[in-house]
Amino acid sequence: MSSAELIIIVGHGNPEEEADSTGYIAEELHNIIHPSCNDTCVRIAYLQFMKPELQEVIENAVSNGANKIIIHPYLLSSGYHVSKNIPDMINRAKKAHPHVEFIYTEPLGAHKKLVEVVLERIRASTDLQNE
């Protein structure tokens, strides 16, 4: 990933900020991609309740020289936000910044690794209860 590329992890947002894990995910992802990097090449944005909002993060990225922006909806399903809200925001950004490449990924959705995480959580819960 070059310095002109960045990733935006888009979370739903939560009125209880401490309940949101989007920042943690973005930080861990950045540590995996760029273990010794101090730049903010993985950023977070929110759809509701929390700041910064997606449009603001996109505008900031473009004004700081991003020419490729990868947007990942950190959401479990392809509901209204994934199928309508985020694509509409990206389309507006594409029109305003035709020189920038926007890539929109699939949401977390139905993925075998998520099934493994659910199983891990269930096992951890039942192990605690059986002690």
Ranges of each domain in the chain: 5-129
Is this model's pTM higher than 0.85 or not?
yes
Q: Under CATH, to which class is 5-129 assigned?
A: alpha beta
Q: Give the number of other CB atoms < 10 A from CB of residue 46.
A: 22
pLDDT in tens, 8-47: 999 999 999 888 999 999 999 999 998 888 888 999 999 9
Percent of the chain with pLDDT over 90: 81
| pLDDT on residue 1 | 57
| pLDDT on residue 37 | 84
Q: What is the mean pLDDT of residues 85-98?
A: 98
User: Distance from CA of residue 111 to its chain's centroid?
Assistant: 16
| pLDDT on residue 40 | 84
